Amino acid sequence: MFNLDTRTIFFRFVFFLITMSALRSVDSRHNSRQSSCFAVDPTNTLTDRLNIALNSSTNGYVLSLCPNTEYPVEAPIMFAFPDQEISTEGYPTDDSRATILINGALANDGSGQTTAVDGTCVASAPGSCDGVKLRNVQINGARNGGSPVTGGGNVEMGGSNANQLVEYVRSYNPRGWTCMHIDEGALSCNNITVQNNDVGPCGTDNFQEWADGLSISCQNAIVENPTDGGIVLFGAPGTQVYNNTIWVVNQTLLGGINMVDYEPWSGNYTNTVVYNNTILGGFSNEVELANETDGTNSNDVIIKLGIAIGPRTWFGDEYGNNVSLSGTVHDNMFSGAFSYAIGMSSAKNFTVENNILLENATFIGLRGPNCSSDDTTPNPAAFVIDQSTVSASTTQSNFTSIQGW
Protein backbone atom coordinates (compact mmCIF):
# COMPACT_ATOMS: atom_id res chain seq x y z
CA MET A 1 0.00 0.00 0.00
CA PHE A 2 1.21 3.50 -0.96
CA ASN A 3 1.22 6.36 1.51
CA LEU A 4 0.25 9.70 -0.09
CA ASP A 5 0.00 12.76 2.07
CA THR A 6 -2.73 15.32 1.44
CA ARG A 7 -0.35 17.78 -0.23
CA THR A 8 0.57 15.22 -2.91
CA ILE A 9 -3.10 14.48 -3.57
CA PHE A 10 -3.89 18.21 -3.78
CA PHE A 11 -1.04 18.89 -6.23
CA ARG A 12 -2.07 15.99 -8.44
CA PHE A 13 -5.67 17.16 -8.42
CA VAL A 14 -4.66 20.70 -9.39
CA PHE A 15 -2.43 19.31 -12.16
CA PHE A 16 -5.36 17.24 -13.44
CA LEU A 17 -7.60 20.33 -13.58
CA ILE A 18 -4.94 22.38 -15.37
CA THR A 19 -4.37 19.60 -17.90
CA MET A 20 -8.10 19.21 -18.64
CA SER A 21 -8.45 22.97 -18.99
CA ALA A 22 -5.61 23.02 -21.49
CA LEU A 23 -7.20 20.20 -23.46
CA ARG A 24 -10.51 22.05 -23.56
CA SER A 25 -8.67 25.14 -24.84
CA VAL A 26 -7.10 23.11 -27.64
CA ASP A 27 -10.50 21.61 -28.51
CA SER A 28 -12.00 25.09 -28.57
CA ARG A 29 -9.33 26.29 -30.98
CA HIS A 30 -9.91 23.31 -33.24
CA ASN A 31 -13.66 23.82 -33.21
CA SER A 32 -13.35 27.45 -34.28
CA ARG A 33 -11.50 26.35 -37.42
CA GLN A 34 -14.28 24.06 -38.57
CA SER A 35 -16.19 25.32 -41.59
CA SER A 36 -19.60 26.83 -40.94
CA CYS A 37 -20.41 27.34 -44.61
CA PHE A 38 -23.81 26.35 -45.96
CA ALA A 39 -24.05 22.70 -47.05
CA VAL A 40 -25.06 22.20 -50.67
CA ASP A 41 -26.48 18.69 -50.12
CA PRO A 42 -29.17 17.61 -50.47
CA THR A 43 -29.52 19.64 -53.66
CA ASN A 44 -33.22 18.83 -54.11
CA THR A 45 -34.01 21.04 -51.10
CA LEU A 46 -31.19 23.55 -51.61
CA THR A 47 -33.23 26.52 -52.86
CA ASP A 48 -35.75 26.22 -50.05
CA ARG A 49 -33.05 25.80 -47.42
CA LEU A 50 -31.16 28.87 -48.61
CA ASN A 51 -34.27 31.02 -48.51
CA ILE A 52 -35.38 29.66 -45.14
CA ALA A 53 -31.94 30.53 -43.74
CA LEU A 54 -32.48 34.15 -44.79
CA ASN A 55 -36.16 34.63 -43.98
CA SER A 56 -36.08 32.81 -40.65
CA SER A 57 -33.13 34.85 -39.35
CA THR A 58 -33.01 38.60 -38.82
CA ASN A 59 -30.96 41.72 -39.49
CA GLY A 60 -27.27 41.19 -40.19
CA TYR A 61 -27.39 37.43 -40.86
CA VAL A 62 -24.50 36.19 -43.04
CA LEU A 63 -25.28 33.35 -45.44
CA SER A 64 -21.78 31.94 -45.93
CA LEU A 65 -21.32 29.67 -48.95
CA CYS A 66 -18.55 27.10 -49.29
CA PRO A 67 -15.53 27.81 -51.50
CA ASN A 68 -15.10 25.70 -54.64
CA THR A 69 -18.75 24.69 -54.48
CA GLU A 70 -21.57 25.06 -57.01
CA TYR A 71 -25.04 25.86 -55.70
CA PRO A 72 -27.71 25.00 -58.31
CA VAL A 73 -30.85 27.00 -57.48
CA GLU A 74 -34.28 26.66 -59.05
CA ALA A 75 -35.62 30.03 -57.85
CA PRO A 76 -33.97 33.28 -56.73
CA ILE A 77 -32.27 33.50 -53.35
CA MET A 78 -34.14 36.34 -51.65
CA PHE A 79 -32.67 38.72 -49.09
CA ALA A 80 -35.24 39.21 -46.34
CA PHE A 81 -33.95 41.68 -43.72
CA PRO A 82 -31.65 44.71 -43.56
CA ASP A 83 -27.87 44.23 -43.46
CA GLN A 84 -27.96 40.57 -44.46
CA GLU A 85 -25.05 39.24 -46.50
CA ILE A 86 -24.49 36.47 -49.02
CA SER A 87 -20.80 35.70 -49.51
CA THR A 88 -18.21 32.94 -49.85
CA GLU A 89 -16.50 31.83 -46.66
CA GLY A 90 -13.09 33.48 -46.36
CA TYR A 91 -13.95 36.09 -49.01
CA PRO A 92 -11.80 34.74 -51.88
CA THR A 93 -11.56 36.82 -55.05
CA ASP A 94 -10.54 34.09 -57.52
CA ASP A 95 -12.29 31.10 -59.09
CA SER A 96 -12.60 29.44 -55.69
CA ARG A 97 -15.57 31.71 -54.99
CA ALA A 98 -18.81 29.77 -54.60
CA THR A 99 -20.85 29.63 -57.81
CA ILE A 100 -24.61 30.12 -57.74
CA LEU A 101 -25.95 28.37 -60.84
CA ILE A 102 -29.36 29.27 -62.26
CA ASN A 103 -30.96 25.86 -62.70
CA GLY A 104 -34.70 26.51 -62.89
CA ALA A 105 -36.85 25.10 -65.65
CA LEU A 106 -37.50 26.95 -68.91
CA ALA A 107 -40.97 27.05 -70.47
CA ASN A 108 -41.81 26.79 -74.15
CA ASP A 109 -43.15 30.36 -74.13
CA GLY A 110 -39.70 31.79 -73.45
CA SER A 111 -40.18 32.33 -69.72
CA GLY A 112 -38.38 30.77 -66.79
CA GLN A 113 -35.89 31.49 -64.04
CA THR A 114 -33.45 34.27 -64.89
CA THR A 115 -32.37 35.54 -61.46
CA ALA A 116 -30.01 33.92 -58.95
CA VAL A 117 -30.02 36.56 -56.18
CA ASP A 118 -32.67 39.20 -55.45
CA GLY A 119 -31.99 42.05 -53.03
CA THR A 120 -34.94 44.29 -53.91
CA CYS A 121 -37.38 43.05 -51.22
CA VAL A 122 -40.12 44.08 -53.65
CA ALA A 123 -42.81 42.22 -51.70
CA SER A 124 -41.85 43.86 -48.39
CA ALA A 125 -41.96 47.35 -46.96
CA PRO A 126 -39.51 49.93 -48.36
CA GLY A 127 -36.17 49.67 -46.60
CA SER A 128 -36.48 45.96 -45.85
CA CYS A 129 -33.32 45.33 -47.87
CA ASP A 130 -31.37 48.37 -46.69
CA GLY A 131 -27.67 47.61 -46.33
CA VAL A 132 -27.70 44.10 -47.79
CA LYS A 133 -24.45 42.84 -49.28
CA LEU A 134 -23.63 40.43 -52.10
CA ARG A 135 -19.92 39.68 -51.91
CA ASN A 136 -17.28 37.34 -53.32
CA VAL A 137 -19.49 34.93 -55.25
CA GLN A 138 -19.92 33.86 -58.86
CA ILE A 139 -23.25 33.88 -60.70
CA ASN A 140 -23.64 31.61 -63.72
CA GLY A 141 -26.84 32.38 -65.64
CA ALA A 142 -26.54 29.13 -67.62
CA ARG A 143 -27.85 30.54 -70.88
CA ASN A 144 -25.47 28.23 -72.70
CA GLY A 145 -26.18 29.49 -76.21
CA GLY A 146 -29.96 29.52 -75.84
CA SER A 147 -32.32 32.32 -76.80
CA PRO A 148 -32.99 35.15 -74.32
CA VAL A 149 -35.49 34.37 -71.56
CA THR A 150 -38.09 36.86 -70.35
CA GLY A 151 -37.31 38.03 -66.82
CA GLY A 152 -34.75 39.88 -64.74
CA GLY A 153 -30.98 39.81 -64.57
CA ASN A 154 -28.61 37.31 -63.00
CA VAL A 155 -28.54 39.68 -60.02
CA GLU A 156 -31.37 42.04 -59.03
CA MET A 157 -30.45 44.60 -56.39
CA GLY A 158 -31.58 48.08 -55.40
CA GLY A 159 -35.34 48.62 -55.33
CA SER A 160 -36.83 50.90 -52.67
CA ASN A 161 -33.78 50.46 -50.47
CA ALA A 162 -30.50 52.19 -49.62
CA ASN A 163 -26.83 51.60 -48.80
CA GLN A 164 -26.38 48.23 -50.49
CA LEU A 165 -23.05 46.73 -51.56
CA VAL A 166 -22.12 44.44 -54.45
CA GLU A 167 -18.43 43.60 -54.64
CA TYR A 168 -16.06 40.94 -55.97
CA VAL A 169 -18.92 39.27 -57.82
CA ARG A 170 -18.38 37.52 -61.11
CA SER A 171 -21.64 37.51 -63.10
CA TYR A 172 -21.82 35.96 -66.56
CA ASN A 173 -23.88 34.10 -69.16
CA PRO A 174 -27.31 35.54 -68.19
CA ARG A 175 -30.52 34.03 -69.51
CA GLY A 176 -32.20 37.41 -69.21
CA TRP A 177 -31.38 40.92 -70.40
CA THR A 178 -28.53 41.82 -68.05
CA CYS A 179 -25.78 40.35 -65.91
CA MET A 180 -26.57 42.72 -63.05
CA HIS A 181 -29.52 45.09 -62.56
CA ILE A 182 -29.62 47.82 -59.93
CA ASP A 183 -33.32 48.69 -59.89
CA GLU A 184 -34.75 52.12 -59.11
CA GLY A 185 -37.70 50.92 -57.03
CA ALA A 186 -40.27 53.69 -56.71
CA LEU A 187 -37.50 56.11 -57.80
CA SER A 188 -36.28 55.77 -54.22
CA CYS A 189 -33.25 53.48 -54.54
CA ASN A 190 -30.30 55.37 -53.10
CA ASN A 191 -26.59 55.01 -52.49
CA ILE A 192 -25.58 51.56 -53.70
CA THR A 193 -21.92 50.69 -54.26
CA VAL A 194 -20.97 48.31 -57.07
CA GLN A 195 -17.22 47.75 -57.02
CA ASN A 196 -14.48 45.32 -58.04
CA ASN A 197 -16.80 43.04 -59.98
CA ASP A 198 -16.02 40.89 -63.01
CA VAL A 199 -18.99 41.10 -65.36
CA GLY A 200 -19.40 39.16 -68.59
CA PRO A 201 -19.67 37.76 -71.09
CA CYS A 202 -23.32 38.82 -71.22
CA GLY A 203 -25.55 37.78 -74.12
CA THR A 204 -24.32 37.30 -77.66
CA ASP A 205 -23.76 39.65 -80.56
CA ASN A 206 -26.49 37.96 -82.61
CA PHE A 207 -29.27 40.36 -83.59
CA GLN A 208 -31.59 41.06 -80.61
CA GLU A 209 -29.86 38.48 -78.42
CA TRP A 210 -27.79 41.10 -76.60
CA ALA A 211 -27.56 41.63 -72.86
CA ASP A 212 -26.22 44.44 -70.67
CA GLY A 213 -23.28 44.04 -68.34
CA LEU A 214 -24.37 46.43 -65.58
CA SER A 215 -27.78 48.13 -65.74
CA ILE A 216 -27.96 50.99 -63.24
CA SER A 217 -31.10 53.00 -62.50
CA CYS A 218 -30.46 53.74 -58.81
CA GLN A 219 -29.66 57.31 -57.83
CA ASN A 220 -26.41 58.23 -56.09
CA ALA A 221 -24.76 54.91 -56.97
CA ILE A 222 -21.03 54.27 -57.22
CA VAL A 223 -19.86 51.97 -60.03
CA GLU A 224 -16.16 51.24 -59.74
CA ASN A 225 -13.86 48.65 -61.29
CA PRO A 226 -16.17 46.22 -63.08
CA THR A 227 -14.68 44.64 -66.17
CA ASP A 228 -15.68 43.32 -69.59
CA GLY A 229 -19.44 44.01 -69.72
CA GLY A 230 -20.84 47.35 -70.78
CA ILE A 231 -22.56 49.75 -68.36
CA VAL A 232 -26.02 51.17 -69.04
CA LEU A 233 -27.14 54.15 -66.95
CA PHE A 234 -30.90 54.60 -66.89
CA GLY A 235 -30.62 58.19 -65.72
CA ALA A 236 -29.45 57.26 -62.23
CA PRO A 237 -28.97 60.89 -61.10
CA GLY A 238 -26.03 61.41 -58.78
CA THR A 239 -24.27 58.22 -59.86
CA GLN A 240 -20.47 58.13 -60.16
CA VAL A 241 -18.99 55.74 -62.75
CA TYR A 242 -15.20 55.68 -62.60
CA ASN A 243 -12.05 53.55 -62.86
CA ASN A 244 -13.82 50.86 -64.89
CA THR A 245 -12.25 48.83 -67.69
CA ILE A 246 -14.55 47.66 -70.45
CA TRP A 247 -13.28 45.49 -73.29
CA VAL A 248 -14.33 43.05 -75.98
CA VAL A 249 -12.80 39.65 -76.67
CA ASN A 250 -14.72 37.70 -79.31
CA GLN A 251 -18.11 39.45 -79.48
CA THR A 252 -18.97 42.91 -80.78
CA LEU A 253 -20.27 45.24 -78.07
CA LEU A 254 -22.99 47.73 -78.98
CA GLY A 255 -22.10 50.31 -76.32
CA GLY A 256 -19.40 50.64 -73.68
CA ILE A 257 -21.21 53.13 -71.43
CA ASN A 258 -24.72 54.27 -72.37
CA MET A 259 -26.47 57.43 -71.22
CA VAL A 260 -29.39 57.12 -73.62
CA ASP A 261 -32.46 55.92 -71.74
CA TYR A 262 -35.27 58.38 -71.08
CA GLU A 263 -37.07 56.12 -68.62
CA PRO A 264 -37.44 55.81 -65.67
CA TRP A 265 -35.92 59.18 -64.66
CA SER A 266 -37.29 61.24 -67.60
CA GLY A 267 -33.77 61.59 -68.99
CA ASN A 268 -32.40 63.09 -65.78
CA TYR A 269 -28.62 62.57 -65.48
CA THR A 270 -28.05 65.42 -63.03
CA ASN A 271 -24.76 64.87 -61.17
CA THR A 272 -24.20 61.60 -63.03
CA VAL A 273 -20.48 61.65 -63.77
CA VAL A 274 -18.61 59.18 -66.00
CA TYR A 275 -14.85 59.61 -65.66
CA ASN A 276 -11.45 57.89 -65.66
CA ASN A 277 -12.77 54.81 -67.46
CA THR A 278 -10.81 52.82 -70.05
CA ILE A 279 -12.77 51.37 -72.97
CA LEU A 280 -10.95 48.91 -75.23
CA GLY A 281 -12.38 48.01 -78.63
CA GLY A 282 -11.24 45.22 -80.92
CA PHE A 283 -7.60 44.48 -81.62
CA SER A 284 -5.90 42.55 -84.38
CA ASN A 285 -5.23 38.92 -83.49
CA GLU A 286 -3.22 38.00 -86.58
CA VAL A 287 0.53 37.55 -86.66
CA GLU A 288 2.15 40.94 -87.08
CA LEU A 289 4.07 41.39 -90.31
CA ALA A 290 7.01 43.69 -90.91
CA ASN A 291 6.01 47.27 -91.73
CA GLU A 292 2.33 46.46 -91.08
CA THR A 293 0.40 49.11 -89.15
CA ASP A 294 -3.07 47.51 -89.19
CA GLY A 295 -4.23 43.92 -88.95
CA THR A 296 -7.43 41.90 -88.91
CA ASN A 297 -9.52 40.38 -86.16
CA SER A 298 -10.77 36.88 -86.90
CA ASN A 299 -14.09 37.61 -85.18
CA ASP A 300 -14.56 41.11 -86.69
CA VAL A 301 -14.89 42.41 -83.14
CA ILE A 302 -15.38 46.12 -82.40
CA ILE A 303 -17.25 48.36 -79.98
CA LYS A 304 -19.82 50.30 -81.96
CA LEU A 305 -20.18 53.21 -79.52
CA GLY A 306 -17.68 53.72 -76.73
CA ILE A 307 -19.88 56.20 -74.83
CA ALA A 308 -23.37 57.01 -76.12
CA ILE A 309 -25.10 60.22 -74.98
CA GLY A 310 -28.72 60.97 -75.81
CA PRO A 311 -31.64 58.75 -76.89
CA ARG A 312 -31.26 59.47 -80.60
CA THR A 313 -27.82 57.85 -80.67
CA TRP A 314 -29.54 54.58 -79.78
CA PHE A 315 -33.24 54.75 -80.62
CA GLY A 316 -33.44 57.20 -83.50
CA ASP A 317 -36.60 59.30 -83.24
CA GLU A 318 -38.47 56.79 -81.04
CA TYR A 319 -38.51 59.23 -78.11
CA GLY A 320 -39.29 62.30 -80.20
CA ASN A 321 -37.74 65.44 -78.77
CA ASN A 322 -36.87 63.94 -75.39
CA VAL A 323 -33.27 64.43 -74.31
CA SER A 324 -30.68 63.26 -71.81
CA LEU A 325 -30.10 66.04 -69.29
CA SER A 326 -27.22 67.40 -67.23
CA GLY A 327 -24.63 64.61 -67.18
CA THR A 328 -20.84 64.88 -67.20
CA VAL A 329 -18.35 62.74 -69.16
CA HIS A 330 -14.66 63.51 -68.74
CA ASP A 331 -11.15 62.03 -68.79
CA ASN A 332 -12.05 58.67 -70.33
CA MET A 333 -9.62 56.77 -72.60
CA PHE A 334 -10.27 54.74 -75.75
CA SER A 335 -8.09 52.20 -77.51
CA GLY A 336 -8.73 49.60 -80.20
CA ALA A 337 -11.38 49.48 -82.91
CA PHE A 338 -14.68 51.36 -82.64
CA SER A 339 -17.21 52.89 -84.94
CA TYR A 340 -17.35 55.91 -82.62
CA ALA A 341 -15.58 56.67 -79.33
CA ILE A 342 -18.30 59.10 -78.21
CA GLY A 343 -21.57 59.80 -79.99
CA MET A 344 -23.73 62.68 -78.77
CA SER A 345 -27.23 63.64 -79.88
CA SER A 346 -30.48 64.81 -78.24
CA ALA A 347 -28.71 66.07 -75.10
CA LYS A 348 -28.99 69.22 -73.01
CA ASN A 349 -26.73 70.76 -70.38
CA PHE A 350 -24.06 68.05 -70.73
CA THR A 351 -20.35 68.53 -70.13
CA VAL A 352 -18.04 66.35 -72.24
CA GLU A 353 -14.36 67.21 -71.92
CA ASN A 354 -10.81 65.82 -71.87
CA ASN A 355 -11.67 62.40 -73.29
CA ILE A 356 -8.69 61.04 -75.21
CA LEU A 357 -7.67 58.45 -77.78
CA LEU A 358 -4.66 56.25 -77.24
CA GLU A 359 -2.26 55.69 -80.15
CA ASN A 360 -3.88 52.55 -81.52
CA ALA A 361 -7.51 53.70 -81.62
CA THR A 362 -9.18 53.16 -85.01
CA PHE A 363 -12.68 53.85 -86.34
CA ILE A 364 -14.29 51.49 -88.82
CA GLY A 365 -17.68 50.13 -89.81
CA LEU A 366 -20.40 49.93 -92.45
CA ARG A 367 -24.19 50.02 -92.39
CA GLY A 368 -25.46 46.66 -91.20
CA PRO A 369 -28.17 44.47 -92.78
CA ASN A 370 -30.68 45.37 -90.05
CA CYS A 371 -30.44 49.14 -90.53
CA SER A 372 -33.62 50.75 -91.83
CA SER A 373 -33.29 52.38 -95.22
CA ASP A 374 -34.11 55.81 -93.79
CA ASP A 375 -31.69 55.59 -90.86
CA THR A 376 -29.01 58.25 -90.76
CA THR A 377 -25.71 56.59 -89.89
CA PRO A 378 -22.67 58.87 -89.58
CA ASN A 379 -19.37 57.80 -91.06
CA PRO A 380 -17.09 56.26 -88.42
CA ALA A 381 -15.15 58.86 -86.45
CA ALA A 382 -13.77 59.41 -82.97
CA PHE A 383 -16.14 61.99 -81.50
CA VAL A 384 -19.39 62.85 -83.30
CA ILE A 385 -22.12 65.30 -82.33
CA ASP A 386 -25.43 66.37 -83.86
CA GLN A 387 -25.42 70.06 -82.99
CA SER A 388 -29.03 70.45 -84.12
CA THR A 389 -30.27 68.35 -81.18
CA VAL A 390 -27.64 69.24 -78.55
CA SER A 391 -28.08 72.44 -76.55
CA ALA A 392 -26.60 74.34 -73.60
CA SER A 393 -23.68 71.88 -73.45
CA THR A 394 -19.91 72.17 -73.09
CA THR A 395 -17.96 69.83 -75.36
CA GLN A 396 -14.33 69.28 -76.25
CA SER A 397 -13.12 70.88 -79.47
CA ASN A 398 -12.39 67.75 -81.51
CA PHE A 399 -15.98 66.64 -82.08
CA THR A 400 -17.03 66.13 -85.71
CA SER A 401 -20.37 67.75 -86.47
CA ILE A 402 -22.97 65.53 -88.14
CA GLN A 403 -26.56 66.08 -89.21
CA GLY A 404 -29.77 64.23 -88.53
CA TRP A 405 -28.73 61.54 -86.06
pLDDT of residue 90: 98
Domain assignment of residue 110, yes or no = yes
Residue range 77-104: average pLDDT?
Answer: 98
Instruction: Indicate the pairing of strand 390-391 with strand 178-183.
Output: unpaired
Pair (148, 257) in one structural domain: no
The answer to whether residues 74 and 103 touch, using CB atoms and an 8 Å cutoff, is yes
The answer to whether residues 145 and 175 touch, using CB atoms and an 8 Å cutoff, is no
Pair (247, 322) in one structural domain: yes
Pair (132, 162) in one structural domain: yes
- The count of domains in the chain is 2
Check whether 299 has a pLDDT greater than 80: no
User: Residue 254 CA to chain centroid, in angstroms?
Assistant: 16
Pair (214, 278) in one structural domain: no
| Amino acid symbol at 352 | V
Pair (371, 260) in one structural domain: yes
What are the φ/ψ torsions at residue 241 (nearest 5 degrees)?
A: -120, 110
Q: What is the dihedral of CA 362, 397, 313, 147, to 10 degrees?
A: 40
Domain assignment of residue 136, yes or no = yes
C-alpha separations of 221 from 22, 239, 342, 381 in Å:
51, 4, 23, 31
Pair (181, 261) in one structural domain: no
Pair (140, 264) in one structural domain: no
Q: Where are the beta strands (DSSP E) in 225-377?
A: 227-228, 231-233, 240-242, 245-247, 253-259, 273-275, 278-280, 303-309, 324-325, 328-330, 333-344, 347-348, 351-353, 356-363
Residue range 331-340: average pLDDT?
Answer: 96
Query: Residues 32, 35, 37, CA angle at the centre, nearest 5°?
Result: 130
Check whether 306 has a pLDDT greater than 50: yes
Domain assignment of residue 28, yes or no = no
Pair (217, 264) in one structural domain: no
Q: How confident is the model at residue 32 (pLDDT cuts 50, 70, 90)?
A: very low
| Amino acid symbol at 254 | L
Pair (215, 251) in one structural domain: no
Q: What is the pTM of this model?
A: 0.86
Range of the domain at 54: 34-229
Rounded CA separation 104/131 (Å): 28
Which of these, 249, 186, 244, lies nearest to 214 by C-alpha position?
244
Domain assignment of residue 320, yes or no = yes
Check whether 238 has a pLDDT greater than 60: yes
Residue 160 CB neighbour total at 10 angstroms? 22
Lowest model confidence (mean pLDDT) among 28-37, 296-305, 324-333, 364-373: 28-37
pLDDT of residue 270: 98
C-alpha separations of 258 from 183, 264, 274, 368 in Å:
16, 14, 10, 20
Residue range 174-184: average pLDDT?
Answer: 94
The answer to whether residues 270 and 237 touch, using CB atoms and an 8 Å cutoff, is yes
Average pLDDT over the chain reads 87
